[in-house]
Amino acid sequence: MLNDLGQADVAFSYAPGKIILVGEHAVVYGAKAIAMPIDCGVRVAVMPLPRNKVESRGPMVRGLGPFFMGDTYVDADSSGPQVLKSALLYILEVFGDAAKELAIVVDGSLPPGRGLGSSAALSVALIKGIYRYLSRPLEREVLEKHAMALETIFHGRPSGIDHAVVMGGRVIAFKKREEGADIWPIALKNSLTFVLAIAGPHDGTKNAVKELGMRKRRQEKVYERIFLGLNEIANEMEQALIEGQKASVGELMNIAQGYLNALALSTPEIEKLCAIARDRGALGAKLTGAGGGGAVIALADGNDLELFNAFKAAGYQSLIAKVPPVADMCGE
Ligand code: MEV
Protein backbone atom coordinates (compact mmCIF):
# COMPACT_ATOMS: atom_id res chain seq x y z
CA MET A 1 0.00 0.00 0.00
CA LEU A 2 1.32 3.50 -0.84
CA ASN A 3 0.72 6.58 1.29
CA ASP A 4 0.14 10.06 -0.15
CA LEU A 5 3.91 10.52 -0.60
CA GLY A 6 3.98 7.49 -2.85
CA GLN A 7 5.74 5.36 -0.24
CA ALA A 8 4.79 2.02 1.21
CA ASP A 9 3.36 2.23 4.73
CA VAL A 10 4.99 -1.05 5.62
CA ALA A 11 7.60 -2.91 3.61
CA PHE A 12 8.81 -6.42 4.32
CA SER A 13 12.01 -8.14 3.38
CA TYR A 14 13.74 -11.42 4.11
CA ALA A 15 17.21 -12.88 3.79
CA PRO A 16 18.32 -16.43 4.61
CA GLY A 17 21.10 -17.54 6.93
CA LYS A 18 24.03 -19.54 5.63
CA ILE A 19 26.46 -22.32 6.36
CA ILE A 20 30.03 -22.50 5.16
CA LEU A 21 30.93 -25.99 3.96
CA VAL A 22 34.62 -25.27 3.68
CA GLY A 23 36.95 -22.28 3.82
CA GLU A 24 35.84 -20.12 6.74
CA HIS A 25 38.70 -17.84 7.85
CA ALA A 26 40.98 -19.15 5.07
CA VAL A 27 38.70 -17.19 2.69
CA VAL A 28 39.79 -13.93 4.34
CA TYR A 29 43.33 -14.74 3.12
CA GLY A 30 42.34 -15.63 -0.43
CA ALA A 31 41.47 -19.36 -0.21
CA LYS A 32 38.41 -20.64 -2.04
CA ALA A 33 35.35 -21.28 0.12
CA ILE A 34 31.94 -22.89 -0.47
CA ALA A 35 28.78 -21.68 1.22
CA MET A 36 25.07 -22.43 1.11
CA PRO A 37 21.94 -20.63 2.21
CA ILE A 38 19.78 -22.38 4.80
CA ASP A 39 16.03 -22.31 5.12
CA CYS A 40 15.85 -20.12 8.18
CA GLY A 41 16.61 -16.43 8.11
CA VAL A 42 15.91 -12.85 9.14
CA ARG A 43 12.71 -10.92 8.47
CA VAL A 44 12.53 -7.16 8.53
CA ALA A 45 9.48 -4.88 8.51
CA VAL A 46 10.02 -1.18 7.84
CA MET A 47 7.30 1.26 8.87
CA PRO A 48 6.87 4.88 9.95
CA LEU A 49 8.19 5.83 13.36
CA PRO A 50 5.56 7.59 15.54
CA ARG A 51 5.77 11.35 14.89
CA ASN A 52 6.82 12.29 18.44
CA LYS A 53 9.98 10.16 18.12
CA VAL A 54 11.07 11.34 14.67
CA GLU A 55 12.52 14.77 15.51
CA SER A 56 14.71 13.75 18.36
CA ARG A 57 15.60 10.12 17.90
CA GLY A 58 14.82 8.29 14.66
CA PRO A 59 15.55 5.85 13.11
CA MET A 60 14.78 3.00 15.47
CA VAL A 61 15.40 -0.77 15.33
CA ARG A 62 13.25 -3.10 17.41
CA GLY A 63 14.54 -6.64 17.76
CA LEU A 64 12.06 -9.43 18.42
CA GLY A 65 12.23 -13.20 18.82
CA PRO A 66 15.77 -14.56 18.69
CA PHE A 67 16.94 -11.02 17.88
CA PHE A 68 15.66 -9.62 21.11
CA MET A 69 17.67 -6.49 21.75
CA GLY A 70 14.80 -4.12 22.66
CA ASP A 71 14.60 -0.75 20.94
CA THR A 72 17.80 0.83 19.67
CA TYR A 73 18.10 4.47 18.62
CA VAL A 74 21.28 6.23 17.57
CA ASP A 75 21.46 8.55 20.57
CA ALA A 76 23.96 7.83 23.32
CA ASP A 77 21.28 7.41 26.02
CA SER A 78 19.54 4.62 24.16
CA SER A 79 20.20 1.07 25.21
CA GLY A 80 21.09 -1.46 22.52
CA PRO A 81 24.32 -2.79 21.06
CA GLN A 82 26.87 -0.19 19.91
CA VAL A 83 27.32 -1.95 16.56
CA LEU A 84 23.62 -1.57 15.86
CA LYS A 85 23.86 2.16 16.64
CA SER A 86 26.78 2.39 14.22
CA ALA A 87 24.67 0.57 11.61
CA LEU A 88 21.85 3.08 12.19
CA LEU A 89 24.33 5.96 11.77
CA TYR A 90 25.37 4.43 8.44
CA ILE A 91 21.71 4.20 7.40
CA LEU A 92 21.25 7.88 8.34
CA GLU A 93 24.29 8.79 6.26
CA VAL A 94 22.95 6.89 3.22
CA PHE A 95 19.28 7.82 3.36
CA GLY A 96 19.51 11.24 5.07
CA ASP A 97 16.38 12.70 6.62
CA ALA A 98 14.17 9.98 5.12
CA ALA A 99 15.83 7.52 7.53
CA LYS A 100 14.80 9.52 10.60
CA GLU A 101 11.23 8.45 10.06
CA LEU A 102 11.89 4.73 10.03
CA ALA A 103 10.94 2.10 12.55
CA ILE A 104 12.62 -1.17 11.60
CA VAL A 105 11.37 -4.37 13.21
CA VAL A 106 13.68 -7.39 13.05
CA ASP A 107 12.51 -10.95 13.63
CA GLY A 108 13.17 -14.37 12.19
CA SER A 109 14.06 -17.96 12.86
CA LEU A 110 17.84 -17.75 12.69
CA PRO A 111 19.73 -17.97 15.99
CA PRO A 112 21.95 -14.87 16.05
CA GLY A 113 25.65 -14.96 17.00
CA ARG A 114 26.05 -18.65 16.13
CA GLY A 115 28.05 -18.43 12.90
CA LEU A 116 24.94 -18.87 10.74
CA GLY A 117 25.15 -15.56 8.92
CA SER A 118 22.71 -13.57 11.06
CA SER A 119 24.58 -10.29 10.61
CA ALA A 120 24.83 -10.73 6.83
CA ALA A 121 21.15 -11.66 6.64
CA LEU A 122 20.27 -8.65 8.78
CA SER A 123 22.42 -6.35 6.62
CA VAL A 124 20.82 -7.54 3.38
CA ALA A 125 17.25 -7.58 4.74
CA LEU A 126 17.67 -4.09 6.26
CA ILE A 127 18.83 -2.51 3.02
CA LYS A 128 16.21 -4.30 0.91
CA GLY A 129 13.47 -3.34 3.36
CA ILE A 130 14.41 0.33 3.46
CA TYR A 131 14.67 0.64 -0.32
CA ARG A 132 11.32 -1.06 -0.64
CA TYR A 133 9.73 1.19 1.96
CA LEU A 134 11.03 4.26 0.14
CA SER A 135 9.85 2.78 -3.18
CA ARG A 136 13.33 3.13 -4.63
CA PRO A 137 14.72 0.63 -7.12
CA LEU A 138 17.67 -1.31 -5.76
CA GLU A 139 20.45 -2.44 -8.08
CA ARG A 140 22.40 -5.53 -7.11
CA GLU A 141 25.70 -3.62 -6.95
CA VAL A 142 24.16 -1.04 -4.62
CA LEU A 143 22.81 -3.75 -2.32
CA GLU A 144 26.26 -5.40 -2.39
CA LYS A 145 27.97 -2.13 -1.48
CA HIS A 146 25.67 -1.34 1.46
CA ALA A 147 25.70 -4.94 2.72
CA MET A 148 29.51 -4.89 2.70
CA ALA A 149 29.53 -1.58 4.59
CA LEU A 150 27.14 -2.94 7.26
CA GLU A 151 29.06 -6.22 7.49
CA THR A 152 32.25 -4.19 8.01
CA ILE A 153 30.54 -2.50 10.95
CA PHE A 154 29.43 -5.88 12.34
CA HIS A 155 32.56 -7.89 11.46
CA GLY A 156 35.55 -5.62 11.08
CA ARG A 157 37.21 -7.38 8.14
CA PRO A 158 34.65 -9.45 6.23
CA SER A 159 35.71 -11.41 3.19
CA GLY A 160 32.26 -10.76 1.72
CA ILE A 161 31.29 -14.44 1.50
CA ASP A 162 28.46 -14.19 4.04
CA HIS A 163 26.46 -11.49 2.31
CA ALA A 164 27.31 -12.94 -1.13
CA VAL A 165 25.62 -16.25 -0.26
CA VAL A 166 22.80 -14.55 1.57
CA MET A 167 22.12 -12.20 -1.38
CA GLY A 168 22.40 -14.88 -4.01
CA GLY A 169 20.25 -17.42 -2.20
CA ARG A 170 22.12 -20.35 -3.77
CA VAL A 171 25.19 -22.54 -3.27
CA ILE A 172 28.29 -20.58 -4.22
CA ALA A 173 32.03 -20.86 -4.49
CA PHE A 174 33.79 -17.69 -3.43
CA LYS A 175 37.35 -16.48 -3.86
CA LYS A 176 38.39 -13.06 -2.65
CA ARG A 177 40.52 -10.92 -4.94
CA GLU A 178 42.54 -7.73 -4.26
CA GLU A 179 39.41 -5.88 -5.36
CA GLY A 180 36.10 -7.69 -4.93
CA ALA A 181 35.75 -11.45 -5.38
CA ASP A 182 35.09 -14.19 -7.92
CA ILE A 183 31.75 -15.77 -7.08
CA TRP A 184 30.09 -18.56 -9.06
CA PRO A 185 27.12 -20.84 -8.41
CA ILE A 186 27.55 -24.57 -7.89
CA ALA A 187 24.78 -26.80 -9.23
CA LEU A 188 24.44 -29.75 -6.83
CA LYS A 189 23.69 -33.11 -8.35
CA ASN A 190 21.59 -34.15 -5.32
CA SER A 191 19.85 -32.31 -2.56
CA LEU A 192 21.76 -32.30 0.71
CA THR A 193 20.49 -32.39 4.27
CA PHE A 194 22.53 -30.91 7.07
CA VAL A 195 21.74 -31.26 10.73
CA LEU A 196 22.98 -28.33 12.77
CA ALA A 197 23.80 -28.33 16.46
CA ILE A 198 24.27 -25.10 18.34
CA ALA A 199 27.36 -25.35 20.54
CA GLY A 200 26.63 -21.97 22.16
CA PRO A 201 27.51 -18.34 21.55
CA HIS A 202 30.90 -17.46 20.08
CA ASP A 203 33.02 -14.50 20.91
CA GLY A 204 31.97 -12.61 17.77
CA THR A 205 33.29 -12.99 14.22
CA LYS A 206 35.20 -9.72 14.55
CA ASN A 207 37.26 -11.07 17.47
CA ALA A 208 37.70 -14.51 15.91
CA VAL A 209 39.10 -13.00 12.69
CA LYS A 210 41.33 -10.58 14.62
CA GLU A 211 42.74 -13.23 16.96
CA LEU A 212 43.40 -15.66 14.12
CA GLY A 213 45.26 -12.81 12.39
CA MET A 214 47.49 -12.47 15.49
CA ARG A 215 48.18 -16.20 15.66
CA LYS A 216 48.95 -16.21 11.93
CA ARG A 217 51.54 -13.47 12.33
CA ARG A 218 53.40 -15.71 14.81
CA GLN A 219 53.36 -18.78 12.49
CA GLU A 220 53.04 -17.20 9.06
CA LYS A 221 54.36 -20.10 6.95
CA VAL A 222 52.45 -22.80 8.80
CA TYR A 223 49.17 -20.88 8.53
CA GLU A 224 49.73 -20.25 4.84
CA ARG A 225 50.12 -24.00 4.31
CA ILE A 226 46.93 -24.74 6.18
CA PHE A 227 45.08 -22.20 4.04
CA LEU A 228 46.48 -23.89 0.92
CA GLY A 229 45.19 -27.21 2.30
CA LEU A 230 41.74 -25.74 2.86
CA ASN A 231 41.79 -24.28 -0.66
CA GLU A 232 42.54 -27.77 -1.99
CA ILE A 233 39.65 -29.22 0.00
CA ALA A 234 37.36 -26.58 -1.52
CA ASN A 235 38.47 -27.60 -5.03
CA GLU A 236 37.78 -31.27 -4.31
CA MET A 237 34.51 -30.50 -2.64
CA GLU A 238 33.20 -28.43 -5.54
CA GLN A 239 33.77 -31.41 -7.80
CA ALA A 240 32.17 -33.83 -5.33
CA LEU A 241 29.08 -31.59 -5.05
CA ILE A 242 28.69 -31.36 -8.81
CA GLU A 243 29.09 -35.14 -9.19
CA GLY A 244 26.83 -35.96 -6.26
CA GLN A 245 29.61 -37.76 -4.31
CA LYS A 246 28.06 -37.26 -0.90
CA ALA A 247 30.50 -39.54 0.93
CA SER A 248 33.42 -37.49 -0.41
CA VAL A 249 31.75 -34.26 0.63
CA GLY A 250 31.45 -35.65 4.17
CA GLU A 251 35.01 -36.94 4.26
CA LEU A 252 36.30 -33.55 3.09
CA MET A 253 34.25 -31.85 5.83
CA ASN A 254 36.01 -34.05 8.40
CA ILE A 255 39.43 -33.13 7.03
CA ALA A 256 38.47 -29.44 7.05
CA GLN A 257 37.47 -29.78 10.70
CA GLY A 258 40.96 -31.13 11.45
CA TYR A 259 42.48 -28.02 9.92
CA LEU A 260 40.06 -25.75 11.79
CA ASN A 261 41.08 -27.43 15.03
CA ALA A 262 44.73 -26.82 14.13
CA LEU A 263 43.85 -23.14 13.62
CA ALA A 264 42.55 -23.10 17.23
CA LEU A 265 38.99 -22.40 16.09
CA SER A 266 37.43 -25.51 17.58
CA THR A 267 36.41 -26.10 21.19
CA PRO A 268 35.90 -29.26 23.28
CA GLU A 269 32.15 -28.81 22.78
CA ILE A 270 32.48 -28.58 19.00
CA GLU A 271 34.68 -31.70 18.98
CA LYS A 272 32.10 -33.49 21.13
CA LEU A 273 29.28 -32.56 18.73
CA CYS A 274 31.33 -33.70 15.73
CA ALA A 275 31.97 -37.02 17.51
CA ILE A 276 28.26 -37.48 18.30
CA ALA A 277 27.41 -36.84 14.64
CA ARG A 278 30.05 -39.21 13.27
CA ASP A 279 29.11 -41.95 15.79
CA ARG A 280 25.51 -41.70 14.57
CA GLY A 281 26.50 -42.16 10.96
CA ALA A 282 26.86 -38.59 9.68
CA LEU A 283 28.95 -38.54 6.50
CA GLY A 284 30.96 -35.67 7.91
CA ALA A 285 30.85 -32.97 10.57
CA LYS A 286 32.61 -29.69 11.17
CA LEU A 287 32.18 -26.29 12.74
CA THR A 288 30.79 -23.60 10.48
CA GLY A 289 31.50 -19.86 10.47
CA ALA A 290 33.67 -18.07 12.98
CA GLY A 291 34.21 -20.99 15.39
CA GLY A 292 35.10 -20.77 19.08
CA GLY A 293 31.48 -21.77 19.72
CA GLY A 294 28.61 -21.23 17.29
CA ALA A 295 27.31 -24.13 15.25
CA VAL A 296 28.36 -27.56 14.01
CA ILE A 297 27.04 -28.93 10.71
CA ALA A 298 26.65 -32.65 10.09
CA LEU A 299 25.95 -34.06 6.63
CA ALA A 300 23.12 -36.57 6.96
CA ASP A 301 22.72 -39.73 4.91
CA GLY A 302 19.01 -40.40 5.32
CA ASN A 303 19.51 -40.23 9.10
CA ASP A 304 18.70 -36.58 9.72
CA LEU A 305 16.09 -37.33 12.40
CA GLU A 306 18.45 -39.64 14.23
CA LEU A 307 21.16 -36.95 14.23
CA PHE A 308 18.67 -34.30 15.29
CA ASN A 309 17.51 -36.48 18.19
CA ALA A 310 21.08 -37.31 19.20
CA PHE A 311 21.99 -33.60 19.41
CA LYS A 312 18.80 -32.90 21.37
CA ALA A 313 19.43 -35.81 23.73
CA ALA A 314 22.90 -34.42 24.42
CA GLY A 315 21.23 -31.13 25.41
CA TYR A 316 21.86 -28.99 22.30
CA GLN A 317 19.54 -26.95 20.12
CA SER A 318 19.36 -28.57 16.70
CA LEU A 319 18.03 -27.55 13.27
CA ILE A 320 17.62 -29.41 10.02
CA ALA A 321 18.60 -27.56 6.85
CA LYS A 322 17.78 -29.02 3.45
CA VAL A 323 19.53 -27.66 0.38
CA PRO A 324 17.79 -28.48 -2.91
CA PRO A 325 19.97 -28.98 -6.03
CA VAL A 326 19.13 -25.56 -7.45
CA ALA A 327 18.56 -23.53 -4.35
CA ASP A 328 16.98 -20.14 -4.57
CA MET A 329 16.15 -19.42 -1.00
CA CYS A 330 15.82 -15.66 -0.95
CA GLY A 331 12.11 -16.18 -0.50
CA GLU A 332 11.20 -13.31 -2.80
C1 MEV B 1 32.18 -15.96 8.94
O2 MEV B 1 30.93 -16.51 8.57
C3 MEV B 1 33.22 -16.36 7.93
C4 MEV B 1 34.61 -15.85 8.25
O5 MEV B 1 35.48 -16.45 7.27
C6 MEV B 1 34.71 -14.35 8.16
C7 MEV B 1 34.55 -13.83 6.73
O8 MEV B 1 34.84 -14.51 5.78
O9 MEV B 1 34.13 -12.66 6.62
C10 MEV B 1 35.09 -16.29 9.62
The CA 52 to ligand 1 mean position distance, Å, reads 40
Chain centroid, CA 130 distance in Å:
20
pLDDT higher than 60, residue 308: yes
Averaged over 256-285, what is the pLDDT?
98
The pLDDT score that the predictor gives to residue 325 is 77
Structure confidence by residue, pLDDT tens digits, 108-162: 989 888 999 999 999 999 999 999 999 999 999 999 999 999 999 998 889 999 9
Question: Which region among 57-61, 90-94, 113-117 has the lowest average model confidence (pLDDT)?
Answer: 57-61
Strands 60-63 vs 70-73: parallel, antiparallel or unpaired: antiparallel
The pLDDT score that the predictor gives to residue 2 is 57
The pLDDT score that the predictor gives to residue 3 is 67
Which of 71, 75, 107, 162 is labelled catalytic? 162
Out of 209, 230, 260, give the residue to mutate to test ligand 1, the one with the largest number of ligand atoms within 8 Å of its CB: 209
Share of the chain above pLDDT 70, in %: 94
- Quickly state the pLDDT bin for 39 (edges 50, 70, 90): confident
Out of 116, 148, 154, 155, give the residue to mutate to test ligand 1, the one with the largest number of ligand atoms within 8 Å of its CB: 155
User: String of b and e for 183-207 (b: at least 16 CB within 10 Å)?
Assistant: beebebeeebbbbbbbbeebebbbe
Minimal-distance CA residue to ligand 1 atom 2: 289
The pLDDT score that the predictor gives to residue 328 is 54
The pLDDT score that the predictor gives to residue 70 is 83
Mean pLDDT over each residue of the chain, to the nearest integer: 92
Within 6 Å (CB) of ligand 1, which residues are found? 20, 24-25, 27-28, 115, 155, 158-159, 161-162, 205, 209, 289-290
77 an active-site residue? no
Question: Do 277 and 243 contact (CB within 8 A), yes or no?
Answer: no
The pLDDT score that the predictor gives to residue 203 is 83
Cβ-based neighbour number of residue 52 at 10 Å: 8
Minimal-distance CA residue to ligand 1 atom 8: 159
Question: Do 44 and 59 contact (CB within 8 A), yes or no?
Answer: no
Structure confidence by residue, pLDDT tens digits, 224-234: 999 999 999 99
Higher pLDDT, 98 or 66: 98
Structure confidence by residue, pLDDT tens digits, 193-204: 999 999 988 888
pLDDT higher than 80, residue 77: no
The CA 154 to ligand 1 mean position distance, Å, reads 11
Whole-angstrom CA distances from 147 to 99, 116, 156, 277, 285 are: 17, 16, 13, 34, 30
Minimal-distance CA residue to ligand 1 atom 9: 158
Secondary structure (DSSP) of 159-221: -SHHHHHHHH-S-EEEEE-SSSEEEEE---SS-EEEEEEEEE--S-HHHHHHHHHHHHHHTHH
Question: Do 29 and 23 contact (CB within 8 A), yes or no?
Answer: no
Question: Which region among 44-53, 111-120, 178-187, 322-331 has the lowest average model confidence (pLDDT)?
Answer: 322-331
pLDDT higher than 60, residue 331: no
